[in-house]
Amino acid sequence: MSTYELVTPLKAEDITQLSVGDVVYISGIVYTARDEAHAHILELDEAGEKLPIDLEGAVIYHCGPLMVQENDQWKAVASGPTTSARMAKMTPKLLEKHNVRALIGKGGMQGVTETLKDRCVYLAYTGGCAALAAGSIKKVRSVHWLQLGMPEAVWELEVERFGPLIVGIDAHGNDLFEKVREKALTAFCQLR
């Protein structure tokens, strides 16, 4: 297990050096996106419209932050991870069109390991750390699609040493969550 400090935008070599269980800290730009934002991105892609964000080498954070506005500037009050499983079905289409290099969330993402292979990693952030996460946000650079609602909008965040994040699915086809499920199932079957 190693620790890595990565700066966005990420390159292929940034993520292919990572292995399941490694610890990662991210600095640079991170975009939040939950269900509605993913669906909206895919709708715009299908319509051939340009996105207001640059997803080349991007990091997408599955998060619905709580923001306040102070002196015409947005500030994150809480920005903990949301359950990533809800975005799993949309991830293959998203990665077909965009060179997103890292997804951050909680709980893992079943069914995306092959899709992530050689192109993207899934980084797990511990649930319940919303205040810690907000402390790593140095600036809210912009917000897109606020009409979707505060938690569903895409927030462009400038972060510094965002983490600690654990590599849950690496770009080599290894899935930490699947290994845990297999061990749990084996243990359960032995008890019966």
Catalytic residues: 38
Q: Measured between alpha carbons, how far is 161 from 132 in angstroms, rounded to an integer?
A: 11
Question: 18 exposed, middle or buried (CB, 10 Å; 0-12, 13-18, 19+)?
Answer: buried
Question: 122 exposed, middle or buried (CB, 10 Å; 0-12, 13-18, 19+)?
Answer: buried
CA atoms within 13 A on the CB side of 68: 5
- By three-state DSSP, how is residue 17 classified? coil
- By three-state DSSP, how is residue 72 classified? coil
Do 102 and 121 contact (CB within 8 A), yes or no?
yes
Question: 1 exposed, middle or buried (CB, 10 Å; 0-12, 13-18, 19+)?
Answer: exposed
- By three-state DSSP, how is residue 191 classified? helix
